[in-house]
Each structure stands twice: as C-alpha cells, then as structure tokens.
C-alpha cells in the first residue's frame, strides 16, 4: 500500500517550476499512506510523487520504477500477486533491476501495450509515463481495490490516490456534488438496482475506472479508455455437478488467500464471528495474528464472542480491541476520520475499522498488511435471505424481480405508474422493461452488478482509507475475478442450492471449519440485537457540545440549500433518546456532506501531523465463558448514578397506565410506546419516575419514598443512558 500523486501538462512542454511545490504538498497530504519512503520524479511534462509502504523487497523495491533507457516510468500502489509467474514469461534477456512485484508491469506494457494487464492478478492502481509516445497511462485492478482520482482542465491533469491531495492544486475545484450525492442509492438505501459508474462525491473530480486502462495523449490532450476485464454475465454457463462447483470454488478461494499472503513482512487478519473472515483464517498458510472489534453491539450480537471461539479453534492469537459503550467520537476526532474517508458514507463501520487499524499500528507495527473477509457477501449470495424477507429462494427471486421493475420505472415513470396502482399491475413487466430501453440484464444479474458498484463506491473505498490512514495495507481474498466468474457461471437450476445464503462458500469450507462456524447465520458486524449501543453513541457524537458538529455541518451554502436543518436536529435527538427509532446512518450521511463541504473550503492540516485520540486497547481473553461478566462490565459502561444529582423526566417521556391491567405501565417517547413496566416485578420504578421533579436531589426523592437507592441504580443508569432522565443544568 503506497500513495501516488502527480501532474502532467498538455502540449508536451516542460512543467512550470511551481510543479515542484505542488508535488511536495500533495505527497505531504498523502504521507500517511507511505511512511517508509518519499520520492519524486520530474521529466518534461510529467511530475510524479510517491510515498511507500514497503511490503515486497523492502530494501530494493523503491519507486518510481523505470526501464533501462528511461523511456517508461511507473509508480504503483498495491500488489501484483503473480509477478514471478509473469516475469518468467517475459522475452529472453529481460532484466528486472529490483525485487519489486510491480516492476514486471513496465515490461508487460512494453511487450503488450494496452493489453499489459490481461493476465495480471492483484490489486493495484498504476500511473505510467510513456515518454516516446507522449502518453500518460492510468490503470486500476478489476474491482477498484486501489484508488486513483484525477482532475483535468485545459492546461493540465492532476492525479492522486486520495481526493484531498488534488485540493492542494489551487486550480482544482473543491465543491461537493450535492445533487448527485443525495440521489445516490448508497446514500438513500433505496432498494433499487443500480449499476451506474461510481463517482467521487465532488464536482469535476473523476475516479479512474476499475478494470480499465485510461490513456492521455499529452500533446493533443486526447483521452481514451481500454477495458481489459468486464464484469461477467451471469449466464449459468458452467457445466458439472454441485460438488464440482463447490470444489472449484474452494480451490480458487484457497489460491486467492495464498496470493494475498505474498509479502516480505508480517500480515495479520481482522476476524469477525462470521464465515467469511473465518474462511480466510482457516486457509491462510501462515497463521496470522487476528484482531476483533469488541463493542456494545458486537458483544450483544455475539460477533466478538464467535471471533474469539473461531480463533481458539484454529489455534490463532486473537486480540479483542475494546470500544466501550461510553466512548463517543469527539468533534475533531470525527472530522479527522471523515477527512481521511473523504466520503459521506463514513459511519460506524468505517470508524470501528479505523480504530482496529490504529490499535494494530500502535501495538503491532511489524504488521504491514491485513487480510479481510470483505466482498464475500456481495458475490456469494450473502444478501439473498434478507432480500427474501423471511421467505425462501422463490421470495428472493420475486423481490429481486420487483427491484428490477423499480429500475425500469425510474426510466419510464409515466408507464411505470401502472405498477403503482392498488392491487395487481396492469402492464406486463416485459413491456415496461422494453420501454425503459430493454438493455439491462435480468434482475438476478443486475443485483450482482449493483453489488459490483457497491464494492467500488463503499467497500473498497473505506477499506483502503481505514488501512491507509494507519500505514497498513488491506488485502481482500474474496475480490478475485476467478471467484466471481465461478459464481456467475452457476446454472440457474443450481442457484437455490449454491447461491442461497452463501451455500457455495459454506459447503466449500465444510470440514475445514467447525460446523457451528460454517452454519452460523449472517449477522452484519454491529447490527442485530446490540445496534442500539452504536446508534446511541453516534447520535451523542452529533449532539455533543450543544450540537456543535451538527451546526458546523448545516452552516455551509450547499447544506443551507439542500438540507432541512430542523428535521435533521429532531431526528438526531430522537435517535439519541431512543436508538430504535431510526437509522443513525441517514442523518449522519447528510451531516457528513455538510462537513466535507466545510473542510474542502478550509483544508485541514495533513493527517500525519494532526493530533490523534487515545489508542484503543485490547482486552485479554482466555476463556470467554469464564470471563463473560468481566467482559460485559468492561464493554457496557452506563452512566454512574450520583445521589446528589437533580433529575427530571425528559419532556417527551409519558407514563401511561394500562386501562386493562392497573399493574402494567407504558413508557411512551414522543407518542410511541417504547417500554413496558410490570409493577409486580418493579414495584418501586414507576413511583420513583413520577416523583423526580427536577428540584430535589435524587437521594432526597428516594428517601422521601422510603426506598433504598442501591437496588434502583441499574434502572436509573439505563434510563440516564437512554435519555429518559435528564440531570438539571449545573448539577452532577
């Protein structure tokens, strides 16, 4: 994992002297990506900057790389996994001057031209200067794992691994693309199929396309794109039995995991409680140290526990990295994180991942790369059961078909209105599809194409930034084109048996992992029964210091034009008081856009010199069953109950007695019943709630009722955490 930066001038003339200062600023901005080395290259119309994280040939593999005659110069971010195999096929007499895995690309380009990546396996973004042709070349891997952004105007093109470095050029626009962002399916969560090209969230910033070679003629300014790999058609063309397909998939996955372990340094693994990262752990040839997020959500949904048990079963060291429920990202901390992510999709998942990387970087700096289980759900059928809505394969197919119809409706809403009528639609789906252009694949394939877009716009994006922000490289074995091509070719008749709930993966790992791990239901990271802990923390983040973060986000011109500030404030308050009342991601995405607008207008200092929050620590766990109470006490940190605090009920809290049972009370928040209290089980709770008047200290209220405070402390603490009780201003 490295960082690329540079600029090139149209017309073929020499770069101006100011380019040196620009290159220095850009490399400083992305210095976090490459803590081991910084290099520059200037020749004619091209200037390159490179920051290196050395994983292969640490001593001799520095960049830029060039051919003997200097006619080709290259900088690359990522890894070429099959570089030795490729080097063996080069013309006789070809000499490689370094042990770098990326040097082979120069000679492949010299031999094959724009087809030089056809046989390459790896993850990479590449910038190549072809001096003799006056050609600048950009290229990225098949899934866009490694980023490359650029901005071009009438005078020059400027490019980098991260958007923020482009802003170091004073001629580069720094404007959030509000309309495009707010309508993006990733932002809205709308259940519609979308295979539109990924974008960069900012106006006039372009993302070099995945699986493509982009060329610029620096004399004429002409731009051309050559696609060297296309996402497969899901044509079900594979022959063979279910067992043949499972075996082929398992062999390809094992080969990909082996590829991803290529390095001359130590590689670790982020381990969750699901089968994806467990599969990588089981297939890894060299046993990696593993790291797991331990927070309120992963404790309650048991993801952290299953990660511990999986690691123990495989004989792996597991570090449970603690983020307790009282931890709330500070204002500046969140802004730094968002600037690192440079996407409005930053949220709890990206933050927890980033904190894991920070722990590894501080406590295990010898680990320079991290294996991940990402990408499995997207291409192995991990969302089939949720899209089935509790049903089976036929329900999944029907619901996916309806998502395809929504795609058609968006393109022909006047005809699609027949599908919005009560009862049964009166127009055939085939007619609507034809009217919408008729060019889209069937809904099953479109779902996977949508996930291909999601991977580029979210998964690969945030995995790159969370790792890069800590000088670590993320490696993703499931994002291997061989695996996706196998899934695409599964015959239609076998899809219910192999694609439903990732059965092709589960069956491939049978006998490799314990049955309870192979068959454990999918639970997405921090979601499930403990999601309230995460939602409350992030709502508090937005509301801290009188909503300072929220108000900054709402203050910019774009935010004032597009966002309903009052409704965003109200939604944040509601989620903080009742984490089950909505998804914190929705208001957070809107707030992120406003913050990105603010920071782009007034650029923050480079991330390598920005202050950092305290490094999260790991909790030593040897026996989960024996340490259960100890673990819970460390993770779930509810507010302390101060006897001298003056408490009152939140204005939106109402106490309602059941008309049918006088011993049953309902606690309603903003008109919605959220809690039920049985007086036969908690006889003192309702009298205490009714007596809290915001005037007397808690100890006096409890004493007047003839009660003892100690037995009531757990309920009081939970009520304070939920925002049902509020301390009076100026009191503890």
Q: What is the pLDDT of residue 429?
A: 86
Most confident listed range (92-96, 456-460, 650-654, 674-678)? 456-460
The mean of the pLDDT values for the chain is 92
Q: What is the pLDDT of residue 729?
A: 62
Pairing of the two strands 290-295 and 318-323:
parallel
Two tokens, residue 133: 């042709």
Q: What is the pLDDT of residue 284?
A: 95
All structural domains of the chain with their residue ranges: 3-176+189-227, 388-448, 530-609, 646-727
Which residues touch 430 (CB under 8 Å, ≥6 apart)? none
Most confident listed range (85-99, 153-167, 541-555, 665-679)? 153-167
Position 175 pLDDT exceeds 90? yes
What is the per-residue pLDDT across 319-373, written as a single tens digit (0 to 9) for each?
Answer: 999 999 988 999 999 999 999 999 999 999 999 999 999 999 999 999 999 999 9
Q: What is the pLDDT of residue 45?
A: 97
Options 2.30.29, 2.40.50, 3.30.460, 3.90.930; which CATH number does 646-727 get?
Answer: 3.90.930
What is the per-residue pLDDT across 565-606, written as a single tens digit (0 to 9) for each?
Answer: 999 998 888 887 777 767 889 999 999 999 999 999 999 999
Q: Which residue out of 2, 102, 172, 260 is catalytically annotated?
A: 2
Q: Which range has the worst mean pLDDT, 132-141, 177-186, 535-544?
A: 535-544
Percent of the chain residues topping a pLDDT of 90:
74
Position 730 pLDDT exceeds 60? no
Q: Which pLDDT band, with edges at 50, 70 and 90, does 421 fall under? A: confident
2 among known catalytic residues: yes
Percent of the chain residues topping a pLDDT of 70:
99
Segment 218-230 shows an average pLDDT of 96
Q: What is the pLDDT of residue 89?
A: 94
Q: What is the pLDDT of residue 62?
A: 82
What is the per-residue pLDDT across 428-438, written as a single tens digit (0 to 9) for each?
Answer: 888 888 888 87
Q: What is the pLDDT of residue 286?
A: 86
Segment 275-281 shows an average pLDDT of 97
Position 383 pLDDT exceeds 90? yes
Segment 663-688 shows an average pLDDT of 87
429: phi then psi, degrees, rounded to nearest 5: -60, -35
Q: Please give the radius of gyration of the chain, using alpha carbons only, rounded to the nearest integer.
A: 28
Position 731 pLDDT exceeds 60? no
323: phi then psi, degrees, rounded to nearest 5: -135, 95
Position 732 pLDDT exceeds 60? no
Position 692 pLDDT exceeds 80? yes
Q: What is the pLDDT of residue 86?
A: 96
Q: Which range has the worst mean pLDDT, 450-459, 539-548, 568-577?
A: 568-577
Topology classification of domain 3-176+189-227: 3.60.20
Q: Which pLDDT band, with edges at 50, 70 and 90, does 405 fall under? A: confident
> CA-CA-CA-CA torsion for 490, 496, 498, 500, nearest 10 degrees?
120
Which residues touch 10 (CB under 8 Å, ≥6 apart)? 45, 154, 155, 156, 157, 218, 219, 221
Between CA 666 and CA 180 the distance in angstroms is: 44
Nearest to 651 by CA among 721, 573, 583: 573
Q: Is the Cβ–Cβ distance between 578 and 545 less than 8 Å?
A: no
Two tokens, residue 541: 């983040």
Between CA 373 and CA 268 the distance in angstroms is: 12
State the SS3 of 503-527.
HHHHHHCECCECHHHHCCCCCCCCC
Angle CA 380–382–387, to nearest 5? 125
Q: Is the Cβ–Cβ distance between 279 and 476 less than 8 Å?
A: no
Pairing of the two strands 266-270 and 367-371:
parallel
């Amino acid at each position: 994992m490295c960082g690329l930066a540079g600029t090139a001038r149209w017309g073929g003339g020499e770069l101006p002297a100011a380019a040196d200062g620009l290159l220095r600023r850009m490399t400083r901005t992305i210095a976090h990506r490459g803590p081991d080395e910084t290099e520059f290259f200037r020749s004619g119309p091209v200037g390159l900057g490179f920051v290196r994280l050395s994983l292969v040939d640490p001593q001799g593999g520095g960049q830029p790389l060039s051919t003997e005659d200097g006619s080709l110069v290259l900088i690359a971010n990522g890894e070429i996994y099959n570089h030795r195999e490729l080097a063996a096929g080069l013309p006789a007499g070809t000499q490689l001057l370094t042990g770098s895995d990326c040097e082979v690309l120069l000679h492949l380009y010299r031999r094959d031209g724009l087809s030089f990546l056809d046989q390459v396996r790896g993850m990479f973004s590449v910038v190549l200067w072809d001096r003799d042709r006056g050609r600048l070349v950009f290229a990225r891997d098949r899934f866009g794992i490694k980023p490359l952004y650029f901005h071009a105007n009438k005078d020059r093109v400027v490019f980098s691994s991260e958007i923020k470095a482009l802003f170091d050029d004073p001629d580069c626009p720094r404007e959030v693309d509000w309309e495009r962002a707010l309508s993006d399916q990733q932002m809205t969560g709308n259940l519609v199929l979308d295979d539109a090209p990924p974008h960069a969230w900012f106006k006039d910033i372009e993302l070099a396309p995945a699986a493509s070679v982009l060329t610029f003629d620096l004399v004429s300014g002409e731009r051309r794109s050559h696609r060297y790999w296309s996402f497969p058609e899901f044509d079900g063309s594979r022959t063979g039995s279910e067992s043949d397909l499972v075996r082929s998939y398992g062999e390809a996955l094992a080969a990909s995991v082996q590829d991803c372990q290529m390095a001359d340094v130590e590689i670790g693994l982020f381990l969750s409680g699901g089968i994806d990262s467990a599969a990588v752990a089981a297939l890894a040839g060299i046993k990696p140290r593993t790291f797991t997020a331990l927070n309120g959500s992963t404790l309650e949904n048991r993801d952290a526990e299953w990660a511990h048990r999986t690691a123990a079963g495989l004989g792996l060291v597991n570090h449970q990295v603690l983020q307790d429920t009282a931890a709330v990202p500070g204002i500046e901390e969140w802004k730094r994180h968002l600037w690192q992510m440079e996407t409005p999709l930053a949220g709890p998942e990206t933050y927890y991942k980033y904190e894991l990387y920070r722990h590894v970087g501080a406590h295990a700096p010898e680990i320079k790369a991290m294996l991940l289980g990402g990408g499995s759900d997207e291409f192995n059928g991990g969302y089939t059961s949720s899209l089935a809505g509790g049903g089976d394969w036929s329900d999944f197919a029907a619901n996916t078909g309806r998502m395809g119809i929504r795609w058609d409706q968006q393109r022909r809403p006047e005809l699609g209105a027949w599908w919005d009528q009560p009862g049964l639609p009166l127009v055939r789906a085939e007619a609507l599809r034809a009217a919408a252009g008729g060019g889209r694949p069937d809904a099953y394939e479109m779902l996977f194409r949508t996930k291909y877009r999601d991977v580029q716009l979210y998964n690969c994006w945030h995995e790159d930034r969370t790792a890069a922000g800590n000088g670590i490289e993320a490696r993703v074995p499931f994002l291997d084109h061989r695996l996706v091509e196998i899934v695409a070719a599964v015959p239609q008749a076998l899809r219910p048996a192999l694609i439903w709930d990732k059965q092709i993966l589960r069956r491939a790992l049978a006998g490799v992992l314990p049955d309870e791990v192979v068959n454990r239901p999918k639970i997405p990271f921090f979601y499930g029964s403990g999601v309230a802990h995460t939602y409350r923390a992030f709502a508090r983040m937005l509301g801290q210091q009188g909503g300072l973060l929220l108000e900054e986000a709402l203050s910019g011109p774009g935010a004032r034009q597009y966002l309903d500030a009052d409704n965003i404030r109200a939604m944040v308050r509601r989620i903080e008081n009742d984490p089950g009342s909505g998804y914190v991601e929705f208001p957070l995405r809107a707030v992120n856009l406003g913050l990105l607008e603010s920071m782009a207008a007034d650029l923050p200092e480079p991330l390598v010199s920005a202050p950092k929050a305290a490094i999260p620590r790991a909790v030593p766990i040897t026996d989960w069953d024996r340490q259960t109470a100890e673990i819970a006490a460390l993770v779930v940190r509810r507010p302390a109950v101060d006897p001298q605090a003056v408490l009152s009920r939140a204005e939106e809290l109402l106490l309602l007695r059941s008309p049918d049972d006088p011993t049953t009370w309902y606690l309603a928040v903003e008109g919605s019943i959220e809690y039920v209290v049985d007086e036969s089980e908690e006889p003192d709770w309702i009298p205490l709630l009714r007596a809290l008047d915001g005037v007397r200290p808690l100890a006096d209220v409890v004493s007047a009722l003839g009660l003892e405070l100690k037995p009531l402390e757990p309920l009081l603490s939970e009520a304070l955490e939920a925002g049902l009780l509020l301390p009076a201003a100026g009191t503890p």
